[in-house]
Amino acid sequence: MTKLIKGTTRRGALKTLAGAAAGTAALPLWARYAQAQSSEPIKIGFQQHSTGIGAAYGRWYGRTTEAAVKVINDGGGINGRMIEVIAEDDGTDPKRGAEVVEKFANQHNCDVAFGTLFSHVVIGSSPRAGELKLPYFVVSEGHHVASGMLNRYTLQPGITDVKSQVQAMAPYVSENLGKKVTMIFPDFAFGHDHRDFFSAAIEAQGGEVLEKIAIPPTETSFTKYFPRIPRDTEVLYHVMVGPAVLTFVKELGEFFGPSSPAIFGFIDSLEAVDIASPGLEFLEGTYFWEGNPRYAQADQTEYDKAFRAAVGVDDNGASISDPTDVSTYAHMFGCWETLHVIKHGLEHSGYQGPGDRAKLIEAVEALTDFPEGHAHPQGAKIFNGKTHQVFGHQYISRVENGKLVRVHTTSIEDTLYPDEVDYTTQPL
């Protein structure tokens, strides 16, 4: 079993190479599976950010995936077939990402591909997945799927998208923290999504955005931009990604000193970073969006408990074996939940082999409700088969005594918005 959940093995690569050399790769593969379907594993290509800027996320996506696959395999697999994960590094690069998708489809003969986080890798890879008709399940929280930019073979059933997350924050922010907001965000598409969707949502609440400060992503020092924050700002909204996030938050604290406005941030600014790091003391009393509360809450569900135990995360959201190794808790549950959706879809489509990929897509599109449970420890969700996007609860936490304590849970309705695409009209 452990062998099955390991990453790609040399044995696997050699086998495939030998197969290619013998010319069997051109044969219709489902013919082979049809004879041996009960024993052949379900192959899931895992596009992992093992190197590059996303490596901290990739590591935890890997651990979560491993844990979910172990749970599913221990429970009898999918229709009696074990899952085999074939992990390939994409270097957090869209070019390599597309190549990896091709490798999954044409060389490893994967049944599905899964697991991408960074938006540019998703968008660079998705066209190839669509052309190769390889179901591509992303765990990215980008708005790219629901915006209609991608294709019928790309789905995001395990994590909510940035548009719904951001707009669901506006009511709480305007009612509890203030109506005059200044936003600081990275000057790339992810940051622009925050800027556009939050500005619209806060205006709908009667608030306003005073200033929008876009930071160039190559930047490593930030203080020089902070004087742009207007003095009458009531709420500072920040979101930052990449290795310089800690510098950013620290310099923010040093800038304001004792007289800061209310601060509301996306946990992306501190994902995989210990809240108790030196220089972050000023975060006490500030607010964060969390996709999934990093610290075990007082009313922790048994599902969250089981999820933590399976992945190897303690009550502070860090690795059990190394408390300084902080997880990407607000995002990585998406891998766990997506794998369970894949399992569900494979079982309900009567999936036999790669010839049934279209049936798998239709089966997943037909799904609507994911109740909270062991398969969905983050909470209940609603899936929109037309836009291929899932919607769920969002959490707002406050830093109290160096820990994030949940203070608000949005309803799923707060996160909904009108459909922007109907992928089901596209041919399969």
The answer to whether 136 and 98 are in contact (CB under 8 A) is: no
Is the CB of 18 or the CB of 405 nearer to other proteins?
Answer: 18
Residues 170, 171, 177: CA angle, nearest 5 degrees: 80
Q: Report the nearest approach of other proteins to the CB of residue 358 (Å).
A: 16
Site for other proteins in 15-54 (CB under 8 A): 20, 23, 25-26, 50-53
Residues 310, 335, 393: CA angle, nearest 5 degrees: 95
Is the CB of 151 or the CB of 352 nearer to other proteins?
Answer: 151
* Per-residue binding letters, 150-189, with other proteins (x by CB under 8 A): xx-----------------------------------xxx
Is the CB of 37 or the CB of 277 nearer to other proteins?
Answer: 277
Is the CB of 128 or the CB of 403 nearer to other proteins?
Answer: 128
Nearest-angstrom CA–CA distance, 355 and 428: 12
Exposure letters 105-119 (e unless 16+ CB within 10 A, then b): bebbbbbbbbbbbbb
Of the candidate spans 74-82, 92-100, 384-392, 401-409, the one that interacts with other proteins by CB under 8 A turns out to be 92-100
Q: Is 402 in the site for other proteins (CB under 8 A)?
A: no
Is the CB of 183 or the CB of 367 nearer to other proteins?
Answer: 183
Is the CB of 50 or the CB of 378 nearer to other proteins?
Answer: 50
Is the CB of 189 or the CB of 382 nearer to other proteins?
Answer: 189
Nearest-angstrom CA–CA distance, 193 and 200: 11
Of the candidate spans 2-10, 298-306, 363-371, 406-414, the one that interacts with other proteins by CB under 8 A turns out to be 2-10
Residue 292 CA: distances (Å) to CA of 24, 72, 97, 100, 139: 45, 22, 27, 29, 14
Site for other proteins in 127-146 (CB under 8 A): 127-128, 130-131, 142, 144
Nearest-angstrom CA–CA distance, 46 and 86: 6
Query: Who contacts 291 (Cβ-Cβ below 8 Å, separation ≥6)?
Result: 141, 159, 160, 165, 267, 329, 330, 331, 333, 334, 378, 394, 395
Nearest-angstrom CA–CA distance, 386 and 155: 10
Q: Report the nearest approach of other proteins to the CB of residue 372 (Å).
A: 30
Of the candidate spans 121-129, 202-210, 362-370, 410-418, the one that interacts with other proteins by CB under 8 A turns out to be 121-129
Query: Who contacts 298 (Cβ-Cβ below 8 Å, separation ≥6)?
Result: none
Count interface residues toward other proteins (CB under 8 A): 84
Site for other proteins in 274-303 (CB under 8 A): 277-279
Residue with tokens 């109740």: 371
Task: Single out the residue of 218, 247, 244, 248 nearest to residue 236, CA to CA.
Answer: 248
Is the CB of 254 or the CB of 400 nearer to other proteins?
Answer: 254
Site for other proteins in 202-261 (CB under 8 A): 213-221, 223-229, 231, 243-247, 254-257, 259
